[in-house]
Amino acid sequence: MYRAKAYSAASATSPLAATTIARRDLGEQDVQIEILFCGICHSDLHTVRNEWSSMMPAVYPCVPGHEIVGRVTEVGSAVTKFKPGDLAAVGCMVDSDGTCPECQAGLEQFCPNMTLTYNSPDVHLGGITYGGYSESIVVKEHFVLRVPSNLDLAGAASLLCAGITTYSPMRHWGVTKGKKVGVVGLGGLGHMAVKFAHALGAHVVVFTTSPNKKEDAILLGADEVVISRNADEMKKHAGSFDFILDAVSADHDINAYIQLLRRDGNITLVGAPPKPLAVSALALLFRRRSLSGSLIGAIAETQEMLDFCGRHNITADVEIIPVQKVNEAYERLLKSDVKYRFSIDMASLKSI
């Protein structure tokens, strides 16, 4: 065991502050990574403030962060894919049982015994796992991803959650050329969804509550932008979408979007507002529409997504901040005031 510098929250109402945490010594299948950048996901905020207390209560101190990019510092004796000096990335999961039907199907994210990067029981050290707002992390090789060398690292970090969470449902629901695709909420996830849907050849419509994001949406790859608070603008798209990805972090009227789906159209929720949403059965019955959810993505699919990003030179648009600004960043996230992801430069932790 060794100590690593980190940023943690002591309770649901405390700001994050500097601390040190325990990391395990390298096991034979482990990779130790010096963290260079860690993205800030809205899930970090939901967790730190215990907003998901009914399904996933937070345990404190909480060190969030699951959009990790860094450099390998040491590898265990059984590690074959990585060597010291390599770029490496870690997303939302650091372990799973490897034996259940979900793991056998290569869908580790649905394993009932999956270990999240933070706020999951830690079988090695006891207590809970600690995430990427830290100077280093030790992770089992299977859960460590390779980063294409052409990608900007600060922006590549957010591919590990915002990227895979939007890429996976688009692949699952067959987003391709000729499909009309909606993206609701132009935040961290939403802006990645626009980039992917555009790269996959779809006609992309962004729904935003922020009129000041209209021009950006087009630059990111949208073909049309709808200000979702404008009912007339919404009506023009009734019954026309093949697929809509809802990436909104707060309570909102999902029925307004269900109405925009064509026959057999699907709306997938990736946003995880703490309060349950009210769904109109009638809106779903007509045109046999469906509503589903999607959770991050499997390890193999995450690597596929990273390689896709390497080929298409896709990364998140980031505002790089020092770790000392993380509390301010959370407040701005709540105001939808980030273009479009905060990425923490972990070098800032060295001065603490």
- Is the separation of the CB atoms in 37 and 87 below 8 Å? no
Min dist CB 207 to ligand NAP, Å, is 7
Indicate whether 161 belongs to the interface with ligand NAP (CB under 6 A).
yes
Select from 135, 29, 67, 110 the least CA-distant residue to 350: 135
CA distance 174 to 177: 10
Query: Which helix (H) or strand (E) is 283 found in, with range?
Result: helix 281-285
Burial (CB < 10 A; 0-12, 13-18, 19+), residue 230, is: exposed
Q: Which of these segments, 94-102, 128-136, 146-154, 246-254, binds ligand NAP (CB under 6 A)?
A: 246-254
Please answer whether residues 204 and 221 qualify as being in contact, where contact means their C-beta atoms are separated by less than 8 angstroms: yes
From the list ligand NAP, Zn ion, none, partner contacted by residue 296 (C-beta under 5 to 8 A by kind): ligand NAP
Stretch that binds Zn ion, among 158-166, 170-178, 234-242, 256-264 (CB under 5 A): 158-166
Among 117, 136, 259, 336, binds ligand NAP (CB under 6 A): 336
Of the candidate residues 33, 41, 137, 153, the single one contacting Zn ion (CB under 5 A): 41
| Angle between helical axes of 162-172 and 188-199 (0-180°, round to 10) | 40
Which residue, 214 or 262, has its beta carbon nearer to ligand NAP?
214
Q: Which is nearer to ligand NAP, 134 or 208 (CB)?
A: 208
Q: Does 137 bind Zn ion (CB under 5 A)?
A: no
262 residue type, one letter: R
Q: Which stretch binds Zn ion (CB under 5 A): 18-26, 42-50, 119-127, 137-145?
A: 42-50
Is residue 272 involved in binding ligand NAP (CB under 6 A)? yes
Single out the residue of 79, 204, 270, 321 in contact with ligand NAP (rule: CB under 6 A). 270
| Among positions 35, 87, 88, 161, the unique one binding Zn ion when judged by CB under 5 A | 161
Q: Which residue among 96, 115, 136, 165 contacts ligand NAP (CB under 6 A)?
A: 165
Between the two ends of the chain, the Cα-to-Cα distance in Å is: 21
- What does the block give as tokens for 341? 């992801």
The rounded distance, in Å, linking the Cα atoms of 251 and 235 is 21
Judged by CB under 6 A, the chain residues 302 through 321 that form the site for ligand NAP are none
For 258, residues 6+ apart whose C-beta sits below 8 A from its C-beta are 267, 279, 280, 283, 284, 289, 291
Given Zn ion, ligand NAP, none, residue 209, with its beta carbon under 5 to 8 Å by kind, binds ligand NAP
Which residue in 188, 221, 265, 310 binds ligand NAP (CB under 6 A)? 188
**Euclidean distance between CA atoms 294 and 270, whole angstroms:** 6
3-state secondary structure of 117: coil
Q: Which of 8, 19, 32, 43 binds Zn ion (CB under 5 A)?
A: 43
CA dist 89 to 67, 94, 115, 143, Å?
8, 11, 16, 9
Does 189 engage in binding with ligand NAP (CB under 6 A)?
yes
**Closest-CB residue for Zn ion?**
41
Instruction: Look at residue 271 and give the partner it binds from ligand NAP, Zn ion, none, a contact being a CB closer than 5 to 8 Å depending on partner kind.
Output: ligand NAP
Instruction: Name the segment binding ligand NAP (CB under 6 A); options: 13-21, 111-119, 182-190, 305-313.
Output: 182-190
Smallest separation (angstroms) from ligand NAP to the CB of 336: 4
In sequence order, what are the residues at sequence separation of 6 or more whose Cβ sits closer than 8 angstroms to the Cβ of residue 10? 17, 60, 61
CB contact set of 167 (below 8 Å; sequence gap of 6+): 192, 196, 297, 301, 305, 308
Q: Looking at 22, 284, 295, 352, which residue binds ligand NAP (CB under 6 A)? A: 295
Of 226 and 316, CB closest to Zn ion = 316
Contact present, 115 and 93 (Cβ < 8 Å): yes
Applying CB under 6 A, the residues found at the interface with ligand NAP are 41-43, 46, 161-162, 165, 185-190, 208-210, 213, 247-250, 252, 270-273, 294-296, 333, 336
Applying CB under 5 A, the residues found at the interface with Zn ion are 41, 43, 161
